[in-house]
Structure formats: C-alpha cells, structure tokens
Amino acid sequence: MGAQPRRSRPDDGHADALFALEDLDPGQERLPRADTGPLFRDTPAARRLLAVTEIRAEAAAAASRRGRQILARFPDARILPVASHWAIPDLHGNAGNVDRWVRIKREVLVLGEKKTLTTRPNGRSADWIAPSSANGCAMACAYCYVPRRKGYANPITVFTNIERIIDHLSRHIARLGPKPEGNQCDPAAWVYDIGENSDCSVDALISDNVGDIIRSFARWPSAKASFATKFVNPDLLLLEPKGRTRIRFSVMPQADSRLLDIRTSPVESRIAAAGEFLEAGYEIHFNLSPVVLRPGWETAWADLLRHMDDVLPTRVKNQAAAEVIMLTHNEELHDLNLGWHPRAEDALWRPDLQEPKRSENGGINVRYQRAVKYDAVDRMGTLIARHAPWLRIRYAF
C-alpha cells in the first residue's frame, strides 16, 4: 500500500524550516537571461489575455514588496482599496456581472494576503494541496469549479505574502522528511499541488509568485510541486525547476476546447510545448480533462490520442503519465453559464446522464451516473491502450 500523507500541523514558527526565511528571495522581479529577449508577459499576446485597468487591493497587500511590484507592472490601472479580497460586494455575488464575465477576468485584478495557511491531504493529483498563491483566473472555462465559491465574477486574486506561503511549505516538507514509500502520486517525492484554485501559467504573467515557488521546490529534494495548466507561458522555461515541478498539461478534443475552454491556449499548442518544457527541467504529465460525454466523444478522443502519439517526442512519452477526469458540473454554475455562454450548457448539462454528488466542501454538484461514468472510464482506458499505449494512467475518476 502506498504512503499516506500525514495531516499538517498549525503554523508554529520557523524552527523546522528546510532553510531560513532570509534565504528566500521573493522580492526583485526576475529578469530574463541576456540571451532570451523580452519576457512573454510583456508581449501584446499576453496583454490580450490580461489587460488590467482596475486593481482592488487590501491595504497591507498593496503596501507589501510583492504588491508594489504588481502595481508597478500596471501603472495605468485604477487602484480601489478593499477591506477584504474575499468580500467585494459589487464584484462577488453581483448577478449583474454575468454580462461582463470575460471582461472582468481580463481587466480586474485583486490583491490580498493569504490569512490562513493550511496544507490539506489529497491523494489524487498530489499527496498534498498547498496553500494557494492566487485564486481565480483570466481564462473562462465553462466547467470551472472556482467561481462557484465567489459568484458572478472570478478575476485573479494574487496573494502578496508569498514569503509566508513558502515558509509554511518549507516547514511542512521538513516535518514530513523523506517519503517512506511510493504511491500513485510519485514513487519517491511528496507531491504538492500549488495551483488548485488558479492556473499557475497565467498567474506568472502578473508576478513572480509562481517563480518563487518553483525555485524553492528546486531546493527541496524530498518534494515536488505540481500544477495543471491550459496555457502555454514560455517565461516558465527560464526558471530552472531541476525536475522538482510537474506540469500537467490539460488536454481535450479541440472541438470540445473551442466550445468550453474559453481564452485558453489551443490544445495543439499545449501538446507541442511538452518537449520544450521537459527539456527545461520540468516533469510532464497530461490531464485528460474533463471528459465530456456528447455525440462522437469516443471518436474525438481517439483522434486526439493519435495526434499525441504522432507528435510527442519519445523522451516525453517515456516519462509521461495521465489523469482521466470525468466532468463534474454544478447547478449554480449551469445557471450562471446560461447568462453568458448558453451553448456550453448543451454539452455540460445532461440531466438524462447525471446525478447529484456532494463535494468535499459540502456543495451539491452533478456528475455522470455511476454506471455511465464507470463505462466511460473503461472506454477511455481502452482508447488510451489502443492509440497511446505509452501513456500510463495514474488515476481515473
């Protein structure tokens, strides 16, 4: 039986950290090496995704070192003070914002401090869920679960107290010590998901939070960072992760992505980037996610898997693994999507195939009926074995 994560202890000082807080360097924004040219985040392509005109900021976050750096990146943005990054009445819970769903994601940024730092056991994508350095996203995937918690607006919130987040992780990893035995998360390292509520590739367009975390994991021999992404950010190639960060490129058939993955990198681009990111020192896995059951879904996934088999370098295939994740949806998100992207709900909302499911945080979601889901998971396994037999399935649910 694989090693089981132990529960984290309270944030109780710095004595057992892997290295001292003063050894961290979360301050100066990192510049590209002299031979690399400008950063991608400063290009017109990046600004089309994230053109910030308004920043809602907690006072302490705006005054912090990281906060000042972010404000300097967007000098023309209007700064509006807020008491809490979590409760902004005209942003969160305002049904009138549905008509501005994508515009808010592109133009609004929130700065706050992460008040409670906890590391939760997981066991699926990772052994542990790390405290997030951001939540929300500039992309607009129609099935995303994060906006269910905020309601009607889901721009990126950046947590500026990155030093405390990294110090918390350092002490948590030090307390665990070496992983006693392998499991499906990893054969040797404790794996920490650092992007549960955001896309780290997009977060790296705003600040160096993600870079600080990746550089820290490069120094921690018993642990790995991990995050899923639907965006190709070449700036991450400069970070020298030294094999201690796993990028899980999320892929789905391109027709599904055009309908559901709004504002993301094309699926073919995510697949094409795998070799370069592996060469830069990342471990590369794939999320086959979400699997949406609609007419022709098996043919579409077979085409995608054949494409991956055709274009991925052998060196990527030799270390690749995959998660197969069936769609989970939510009635509130269904109602929200009807206000801005009703065509997506033709594929996502299937009462004839779905049943209620209570999530870990107590919310009521819908998933495919048990028999339907098990049959679809089996079919996905058969498709992978036939068209991409090199792709090891780490888990499927």
Span 276-288, pLDDT tens digits:
999 999 999 999 9
C-alpha angle 277/126/393, rounded to 5°?
Answer: 70
3-state secondary structure 347-383: HHCCCCCEEEEECCCCCEEEEECHHHHHHHHHHHHHH
Distance CA 380, CA 397 (A): 11
What pLDDT digit, counting tens, does each position of 340-355 carry? 999 999 999 999 999 9
pTM of the entire predicted model: 0.90
- For the cut 80, the answer to whether the pLDDT of residue 93 exceeds it is no
Q: What is the layout of strands, in order, in the sheet containing 328-330? A: 328-330, 364-368, 354-358
The pLDDT value recorded for residue 362 is 64
What pLDDT digit, counting tens, does each position of 353-375 carry? 999 987 766 668 999 999 999 99
What pLDDT digit, counting tens, does each position of 237-266 carry? 999 999 999 999 999 999 999 999 999 999
- Computed over every residue of the chain, the mean pLDDT equals 90
- For the cut 70, the answer to whether the pLDDT of residue 36 exceeds it is no
153 neighbors 107 (Cβ within 8 angstroms): no
Lowest-confidence range among 103-112, 147-156, 379-388?
147-156
The pLDDT value recorded for residue 232 is 98
C-alpha angle 334/139/271, rounded to 5°?
Answer: 110
- For the cut 50, the answer to whether the pLDDT of residue 129 exceeds it is yes
The pLDDT value recorded for residue 104 is 93
Q: What percent of the chain has pLDDT over 90?
A: 79
Of residues 48 and 13, the one with the higher pLDDT is 48
Q: Are strands 120-121 and 78-81 parallel, antiparallel or unpaired?
A: unpaired
CA distances from 19 to 16, 46, 83, 158, 265 (A): 8, 34, 33, 25, 37
Distance CA 32, CA 376 (A): 45
Question: What is the mean pLDDT of the segment spanning 199-226?
Answer: 98
pLDDT band at 151 (very low <50, low <70, confident <90, very high): low
pLDDT band at 148 (very low <50, low <70, confident <90, very high): low
- For the cut 70, the answer to whether the pLDDT of residue 2 exceeds it is no
- For the cut 70, the answer to whether the pLDDT of residue 10 exceeds it is no
